[in-house]
Amino acid sequence: MIKKICMIVMFLAVAVTAARNSSCKDVLDNSLTRPPSGIYILEDSHGFQYQTYCDMLTNMGGWTLIASVHENNAQDNGRCTKGDRWSSEQGSSSLQPRAENWMNQNTFGNVISATADDFKSPGYFDIKAKNLMIWQVPNDTPLDNWRQASYMRYRTETDFFDYFNGNLYSLYKHFLPIVSRQYSWPADNGPQIPVVFDEGSGGDLVSHFGPTTKQYLTPGYIQFRALSSQHDVFAMCPGVKISESFSNAQFACFGSTGYNYNAKYCGDFAGWTYNGYGTHTTWSVDKYLIETTFLLFYR
């Protein structure tokens, strides 16, 4: 009897090991016990294997890191230069009016250095998810310290990806393209999805934005495709939605070529240093926020 039980357990263990893990939710569901957070190997729908980070703690776990966004060399006016992969690496140019990497299947960076360089895994376009989670982590934080160093962690819980074919790639490519001069403010602003906070608060989040900007922000949301009155387009406003009367999305949102109006709005973090790097005056965010990496997770 004992031998038979052991054989059954071994069979189940082999079956679990053999299951294809296309997301961290699969890793969780295919495990006999709750696995720890950390690096896992996932396999996309084409059989390609890649490494990424799984958060197995938040809201019962199963969250897959699919991307990281940070500003490249903003202190030296290096916006929209090599390394600004979520905006334009060719500068503010009529030849590059799109923030292409939000809408394509390019991959770049690696999970180990996700807080030191932009990262985009195959999971960005391959995983079919229901919700998005964001961690705000200081730049250059080692992977083992991400959770304890994150001063903001918030997530959607409305399954909003069901309306956009399951991921950010589809959302931007098919529903809300990031293309300057193609859309009108405010009619073409994208959806504002509510979030819950697991770390930090809405008031604290908003406090890091520019003093002039804050009055136009409502915390507790993620807004997708926000426009300025100059027809520039910004991919995402993290943790906030902007007032319908606010025509300067560049000061609260990230990911733009900045082509149409002003090269100062070009870059992964757009106009966040408009009145100086980390000065926290007028439109500029504080130094803490400009030196933040945004880690994006699916589940």
Residue 6 within a domain: no
Residue 173 within a domain: yes
Tell me, what's the pLDDT at 7?
Answer: 42
Beta strands per DSSP E along 76-220: 119-120, 132-138, 152-155, 192-194, 196-199, 217-219
CA-atom Rg of the chain in angstroms: 20
Cα–Cα distance for residue pair 283/246, rounded to 1 Å: 13
Q: pLDDT band at residue 270, thresholds of 50, 70 and 90?
A: confident
Q: What percent of the chain has pLDDT over 70?
A: 87
Residue 71 within a domain: yes
Distant-in-sequence, close-in-space partners of 6: CB < 8 Å, separation ≥ 6: none
Residue 3 within a domain: no
Q: Which of 290, 272, 294 is nearest to 282 (CA)?
A: 272
Tell me, what's the pLDDT at 17?
Answer: 46
Cα–Cα distance for residue pair 186/238, rounded to 1 Å: 18
Q: Given a cut of 50, is residue 192 above it in pLDDT?
A: yes
Q: Given a cut of 80, is residue 140 above it in pLDDT?
A: yes
Query: What are the pLDDT digits (tens) for 36-95?
Result: 999 999 999 999 999 999 999 999 999 999 999 998 777 766 677 777 889 876 666 665
Tell me, what's the pLDDT at 230?
Answer: 84
H helices, E strands: number in the chain: 7, 13
Least confident of 6-15, 134-143, 208-217, 279-288: 6-15
Cα–Cα distance for residue pair 274/297, rounded to 1 Å: 29
Residue 241 within a domain: yes
Residue 153 within a domain: yes
Mean of all residue pLDDT scores within the chain: 89
Average pLDDT over residues 238-246: 96
Residue 5 within a domain: no
Residue 117 within a domain: yes
Query: What are the pLDDT digits (tens) for 250-269?
Result: 999 998 876 655 566 777 88
Give the single-character DSSP code of 286. Answer: B
CA dist 167 to 89, 207, 284, 289, Å? 24, 29, 31, 26
Q: Given a cut of 50, is residue 6 above it in pLDDT?
A: no
Tell me, what's the pLDDT at 268?
Answer: 86
Domain that holds residue 227: 11-298
pTM of the predicted model, to two decimals?
0.91
The first and second tokens of residue 206, run together, are 């908003």
Q: Given a cut of 50, is residue 291 above it in pLDDT?
A: yes
How many domains is the chain built from? 1
